[in-house]
Every structure is written in C-alpha cells, then in structure tokens.
Structure 1
C-alpha cells in the first residue's frame, strides 16, 4: 500500500441531464437598481410638471403664473382627468375600452334629454345615467370575456352603437334648455368652488384616492394586477379572471357616466359629437400615467400626474398663441411617447423581477470537519 500526503480528489457526480449545474464558488448576484434610478422613473413626470411650470412662468410672466390660470387648469382638465382614470381601470387587466368617448357623449346627452325634455328631477336623471354607464361597461366586459373578442374590436363596435343611439336620441341636433335654463343646483356641480378652488378638482382627487386604495391596498387590486401581468398564472391559482375583467369594464362605465354628468353641467347643452374629443386625451393620460409613481403598471396617482403634465403643456402652448392644430399634434405625439415608455417600463419591470428570481444564492457556509482547525484546541 502506498500512502500519499495529499488527499485523493473527490469524484463529482454528474447532475441530471438537461439541468443547469451551478459552478463552483460564489456567483455574483445581479446588480440591484439604484435608488436614484427608481426616483427618476417614479417621479420624473412630476419633476417635468414643475419644470414646465417654471419655463412657462419665465416665458409668460404676466399670464401663466396667475390664479386664473390655475383655476382654468383645474376646471377645464377635470373631465379629461376623470375619463383618463376610467380608461386606466381596464388597462390594469391589459384591456382597452375604446367606447369611452362615445359613452361620454351618450351620457351627457341623456342627462340633458331627461332633464330638459322629459322633466325628470336632475338628481334622478344623474343617478340613472351613471347606472346606465355601469350597465354599458358590464356589456363591454361580457362581450370581451365571454364572446372572446379582442377588447379593441369589441369596444370599438359597442362605441359605434352608442354613437348611433346618441344620434337617435338627439335626431342629429342639439338639446338646448328652455328660457328658464337648467336648475342652478345642477350647474353648481361644475361651476361652484370649495376652499377657493373649483369643485371638479376635488372630484378628481376623491376618485383617484378611491382607485388608489382599491388597487394598492385591497386584495381585489392585487388580483387585478396579477390578471394583467399573467392571465394564465392567475387562472392556475384560482383567480376568476373573466369576472374580474368584467368588473374593470363596469367600473370604467360607471366613471364614464359620472363624467357625462359633469360634461352636461359644464356645457349646459346636449351636443351629440362632443364626447369624441376626449377619447385621445384619456388614453394619453392613462398610458403615460403607467410610467410614473409606479413605473411599469397603471396606477391612479400616475394618471393624475400625467394629466397635469398635459394640462400644463397645453395651457402654456395656448397662451403662447399656437395654432389650433398644435393640440392634436401634441396629443398624438404624446400618445406615441406614452405607449413607448409604458412598454419599456413594463419590460424593465419584468426583467428586474426575473433577474431577482433567477439569481442564484451564494454558497452556504462550509461546515468545519472534525479534527479541522475549528475543532483544535488553542
């Protein structure tokens, strides 16, 4: 027998075929995203809003940094903000409701029809219209989920039908109140102030807070985000994806009905085609909002910040004397930018989650063998 001072090397057992064998030694973990990058991604739009306010205030010192401009922004952008929040809810489950503009037009026309021509109390007319908006949303959800039709096509078809109903109700004309006008309590829904600020701004704030609580603090919101991120996984864990998707369309329709009430109180006239002007700004705000506060997923605070960016930009451009065609140009360009940034944020979020999940852990501490240095007495 021969003895050797060096220990015999141990033979490695091959792992099962097709599996990755971890290399020897510690594996460096993925570099975490720094706090600076997270702050820029989360609050970049908020900083952009402040920067735009500063630029327009220096450029237009007599007209932009005034209380009248603030009141105009809070009042005029309240309905687009409400509609953007309505568009945001189905996007949480990766669905799109293109019937928003048509539903807004029908809702405000129906309020005027019931109050002016049918003589209904304005409170009852508003409640019926808001409930009708929820019914339309349920119809959209059922068609999309149980009819298995893409949400773009389904809601575009239902929106065209809503536009047809609007034309049938108004007979292609406008609904104008009589000499007595509309009830003052009804118009005060939009024209009144609270704490020195327009009341519609508080509607937007209250709606955003409710949606934030539901989506970020309740189990229902977490389920909706799971459905939007991976519907197959949501089905496997027992989440009723179809039912929850119908819920999002119903909530969207409910908010659209409320926006129609505000639009009727603002316009004080029934215009069958006015709702289409709000469709593009609503989706711009909803998609651009998914890149702020919670980058990579739709959220209510980010949507409000995105609408604020659009409002400040449009107000400043308008005060600088830009032509009318700059508004659709601004909305179209911002929509393309919003879609690109939203897709990039979502991909980056998924990549970061996959990297953190797949990153191998470091090797466990090697236990000392009997007779080793740790067991020897000093």
Structure 2
C-alpha cells in the first residue's frame, strides 16, 4: 500500500465519481477534457519534482510560466516572429532562467525559497514591462493555426498535450532512475554532506536540476499561450500550488520517500480526477483552492512520514546481523 496506495486511491475516486455521475464522468469526452486541462499543471508538477529530489524548491515556477506565455505571445503578435522561432526562444529562455536560479542558490549560497522567490519577482516585473499591465490580444487574423494546434490537436483520439506530459515523464524517469545525475540528486537530497564526501559535484548537479525545471516551465508557457491565445500578465501564480502538491504528494507513492516522475504523474491524476468530480457536482469557486490547500497539507504530511519510514527501515537493516555474524 505504501508503494501503490495512491494509485489505488485514484482508481477508487474515479469509480466513486463514475457511480455518482454515470452519464457525464466516465465518458471519453470527460477523460479528454481532464487530460487537456491538466496538462499544464502536470508539466509544472514535473518541473517542480526535479529540484525537490535534491532537497531544493523552485518558487519561481508560477512567475516563469506567466513570463514564458506572455513572451511567446509578444514575439508572435507584436514582433511578428514565426511561431516556431518564438517558441524555441522562449523554451531556451526558460532553460537560462533555470540556470540562473541554480547559480544563485548554489554559488551565492542563498536558500532556495528566498532565491527563487526573488528571481520570480524579477520575472513578474519583466512580465509587466512587456505587457504594460494589459493583455496581448491577437489581431483579426488570430494566431497561426500551427501554433494553436500545439494544444488543440489530437492524436490517437486523445489531446496531444497528454502525450507531451507522457514524454516528459519518460524522460525524467530515465534521468532520475537510470543516469548518474539522478542518483547524485537523490544522494544530495538525502544527505548533502555525505554527497560532498563521496565526491559528487553537488553544486553542478543542483544547477542541472534547476535548469531542467526551467526548461519544462518554458515548454509549459508555450503550451499555455496556445491554450489561452491571449497574453495575460496575471496568469501563472495559480499554477504554483498545484505544482508543489503534485510533486510532494508524488513522493509518497511508487518510490515512497523520494520525489519521482511516476509518483508525480499519479498524484496529478488523483488531483485531476478529484477536481473534475467536484466541478461536475456543482461545487462553488472556492472549492478548488480549498481542495488544493488540503491536498498540500496532506502531501507534506505524507511525504514526511514516508521519508521517516524509509530512514527507519534503512536503520533497521543496518542493525540486523549478517548471516556470517549470526553463525
């Protein structure tokens, strides 16, 4: 249950809402809507997961998302850039912003909460500078069809954003579970001093973690612009809380006690099913932040419990006598 309990809970919640709302909830249209609407929160949660593996937190995610989606709209609508060039520049900009976050945290020795809150505020200021506090609205011809298809297109009968999320999950799983960088980040997150003594390049690894987070934020920003089709300077912050809920709650499943890509995906699925269900039941507007807030508290509590349980299990294994000692 510690490994797959959250997945079982997700299935149970889906079945409950399917019984309560049999005509609307267990339908392909509803599933497609959930996959489409939750693709951006899922990407941000995956982006938040990478620094969390090293014990760091990136609070600039929401600000970066807002800046990325406004920038790509500004380049396409105001500057007249081709949308592929604008999208690539914004994604590269997200990568650079992530590197800056990592450098500030690791080499300026500023706590990740404070550092990323500061850089996030700077991003918000740049967003206001680009938009002058107003929305960026396309002309009568609208946005290029190829750009809006990034969000509206379908593949195998499902929204294409769901496949973006799946691709990022696979990439993160490979990096965190199969490559030395992922192992380094896990060691840094569990014991930074031991990581240094083992010769792990802690500063460089953490910069890579923030760079990966910024890269995913840039991708999410492009996708958000294709979804909303306007540049709204106030968008972004509302995505921050769900992102950390998904990352922290995901650390309690699949690999309990460790932030992991598959666990984050399961956590996001649970949140998406829950929000879709209460929305179809006619919940008031305040139900969503209430749900996210309660989920965050539960996520932090469960993540701490899973980490303590893993440490107790490891300590018990260390104290257990070996077969040779028993003989």
TM-score, scaled to structure 2 = 0.98
Residue deviations 1:130-158 (CA, integer Å, cap 9, x gap): 01011111111111111111100110011
1:316 — aligned with what?
277
Question: For 2:324 and 2:65, how far apart are their aligned partners in 1?
Answer: 60
Aligned to 1:200: 161
Matches within 5 A, 1:21-60: 40-60=1-21
**2:292 equivalent among 312, 325, 331:** 331
1:207-251 Cα shifts (integer Å, max 9, x gaps):
000000111011221111111111111101111101100110001
In 2, the alpha carbon distance for the partners of 1:111 and 1:137 equals 17
Report SS of the residue matched to 1:149.
coil
Q: Structure 1, unaligned stretches of length 5 or more?
A: 1-39, 367-378
Partner Cα separation in structure 2 for residue 143 and residue 365 of structure 1: 51
Number of the residue aligned with 2:205:
244
Structure 2 residue corresponding to 1:299, chosen from 260, 284, 306: 260
The alignment's C-alpha RMSD in Å is 1.0
Residue 228 of structure 1 is matched in structure 2 by: 189
State the match for 1:287 in structure 2.
248
For residues 7-22 of structure 1, what are the structure 2 equivalents within 5 Å?
Answer: none
Say if 2:68 is the partner of 1:107. Answer: yes
- Offset of 1:277 from its aligned partner? 1.0
Pairing 1:184–2:155 present: no
1:364: Cα distance to partner?
5.0
Deviations 1:247-295 (A, max 9, x none): 1000100000000000000000000111111000000000000001111
Q: Distance in 2 between matches of 1:294 and 1:253?
A: 24
Moved over 4 A (4+): 362-366
Provide the aligned length of Structure 1 versus Structure 2.
327
Q: How far does residue 363 in structure 1 lie from its aligned partner after superposition?
A: 6.1
Name the structure where helix makes up a greater proportion of residues.
2
1:359 deviates by 2.0
Are 2:173 and 1:212 equivalent residues in the alignment? yes
2:203, 2:41 → 1: CA distance? 28
Counterpart check, 1:175 vs 2:140 = no
2 CA distance for matches of 1:111 and 1:365? Answer: 66
Aligned to 2:106: 145
Structure 2: stretches of 5+ with no match in the other structure: none
CA distance in 1, matches of 2:96, 2:82: 21
Partner of 2:117: 156
Q: Could you say which residue in structure 2 is the equivalent of 1:354?
A: 315
Residue in 1 that maps onto 2:53: 92
Q: Does 1:124 align with 2:124?
A: no
**Residue 195 and residue 137 in structure 1: after superposition, are their counterparts in 2 closer, same or farther (change >3 A)?**
same
Deviation at 1:361, TM superposition (A): 2.9
Larger radius of gyration: 1
How far the C-alpha of 1:308 sits from its partner, in A, is: 0.3
